[in-house]
Amino acid sequence: MPVQVDVGELVAQAADGVPRAIARLISLVEDAHPQLREVAAALTPHTGRARLIGLTGPPGVGKSTSTSMLITALRAAGKRVGVLAIDPSSPFSGGALLGDRVRMSEHATDTGVFIRSMATRGHLGGLAWATPQAVRVLDAAGFDIVLIETVGVGQSEVDVVRLADTTVVLLAPGMGDGIQAAKAGVLEIADVFVVNKADREGADATVRELKQMIAMGRREMRGPSWRQPIVRTVASRDEGAEDVLKVLDEHHDWLTAEGELTRRRATRAAGEIEAIALQRLRAELVDLRGGDRLAELADAVAGRELDPYAAAERLIDDLRA
């Protein structure tokens, strides 16, 4: 039985930046607490200030180290930073990611920083539904920047990154064919490229390859007027952080000037509304007659008395009845 929560008090504390209240609210989101509806309403007046930055890239490029570097630089610039680290939670990947997280422990005692891991496993539609609500909590808690970091291996992670105002794609030298193969997808989601480990052999080649990709992409796509910049970093030595912050600011200015920020946030809101509505409809479908209706139809489909489309139609009819 979920505990009844004093939502007003909890949101007030979170808006004051009390870490325990923030953590508690995100847990309510993750657990799909029955008072979530109330939480969302209470958070709304406090939201809309944070800048949302998505950070993704293939495994091994140094995402956690880069996140940590950016936190340090943003703190030095006086910004409060909330981080959502999205774990795709494949049965095959849990350990390595958790290990990486340890790197961020240097920020553990800084109250201007809040870091939270979220697992996609078990959530309907990955994090389509839970992540934006968690972002909303951090926004309401007054963080100037909310970083969403994902390992970028699956569709749901990519969707999460698409929630951001600005998406940073991290790459590293020596990925070889990787970049070429990744071309279409990467061009599609990146606002900013960061080539990390830029002190390693092959960094120049990686940057050159990226430049070609960007140039070709622009011809093919006749995209918007933003030209994706490429920044070099060595996150393990905190090198290049200022350059990243600079292009992030430039992108933010561009978003604002072009009206693109408003468009992106409306798109995000549409996705959010849709995900919540589907989540609710799904709960109703599965629960028709205490679940008996779906079980009955499933038996009929498994027994080939009914095809699944006909069964789905009957289920929807019952939902509407």
Residues 220-249 that bind a copy of itself (CB under 8 A): none
Q: Which is nearer to a copy of itself, 168 or 241 (CB)?
A: 168
Q: Which of 31, 106, 258, 299 binds a copy of itself (CB under 8 A)?
A: 299
- Edge-to-edge strand order for the sheet containing 145-150? 113-119, 81-87, 145-150, 51-56, 166-171, 192-195, 230-232
The CA distances from residue 189 to 153, 184, 209, 229, 286, in Å, are: 13, 9, 17, 13, 34
- Asked whether the beta carbons of 56 and 152 are under 8 A apart, the reply is yes
Q: Which is nearer to a copy of itself, 18 or 278 (CB)?
A: 278
Interface residues for a copy of itself in 46-105 (CB under 8 A)? Answer: 47-48, 57-58, 88-96, 98
**Shortest distance (Å) from residue 147 CB to a copy of itself:** 19
Q: Which is nearer to a copy of itself, 75 or 268 (CB)?
A: 268
**Shortest distance (Å) from residue 99 CB to a copy of itself:** 8
Q: 132, 138, 145, 140: which is closest to 45 by C-alpha? A: 140
**Shortest distance (Å) from residue 93 CB to a copy of itself:** 7
Show the DSSP H helices in the chain as ranges.
7-15, 19-30, 36-43, 63-76, 94-101, 130-140, 155-161, 177-189, 203-221, 241-257, 260-287, 292-302, 308-320
Among 3-11, 16-24, 155-163, 250-258, the segment contacting a copy of itself (CB under 8 A): 155-163
Instruction: Give the number of other Cβ atoms within 10 Å of residue 22's Cβ.
Output: 25
Q: Give me the amino acid identity at 176.
A: G
Q: Which of 43, 55, 81, 244 binds a copy of itself (CB under 8 A)?
A: 43
Q: Is 152 in the site for a copy of itself (CB under 8 A)?
A: yes
Q: Which of 110, 153, 162, 250 binds a copy of itself (CB under 8 A)?
A: 153
**Shortest distance (Å) from residue 91 CB to a copy of itself:** 2
**Shortest distance (Å) from residue 295 CB to a copy of itself:** 7
Q: Which is nearer to a copy of itself, 215 or 295 (CB)?
A: 295
Interface residues for a copy of itself in 257-276 (CB under 8 A)? Answer: 262, 265-270, 272-274, 276
CA distance linking residue 168 with residue 57, whole number of Å: 8
**Shortest distance (Å) from residue 70 CB to a copy of itself:** 20
- Asked whether the beta carbons of 147 and 82 are under 8 A apart, the reply is yes
- Asked whether the beta carbons of 118 and 146 are under 8 A apart, the reply is no
**Shortest distance (Å) from residue 321 CB to a copy of itself:** 11
Q: Which of 8, 19, 34, 45 binds a copy of itself (CB under 8 A)?
A: 45
Parallel/antiparallel/unpaired status of strands 192-195 and 113-119: unpaired
Q: Is 297 in the site for a copy of itself (CB under 8 A)?
A: yes
**Shortest distance (Å) from residue 42 CB to a copy of itself:** 8
Q: Which is nearer to a copy of itself, 93 or 236 (CB)?
A: 93
- Asked whether the beta carbons of 130 and 89 are under 8 A apart, the reply is no
Interface residues for a copy of itself in 156-195 (CB under 8 A)? Answer: 156-158, 177-178, 180-182, 184-186, 188-189
Count CA atoms closer than 13 A to 313's CA, side-chain side.
5
Q: Which is nearer to a copy of itself, 158 or 198 (CB)?
A: 158
CA distance linking residue 128 with residue 144, whole number of Å: 23
Q: Give how far the C-alpha of residue 308 lies from the chain's centroid of Cα atoms, to the nearest Å.
A: 33
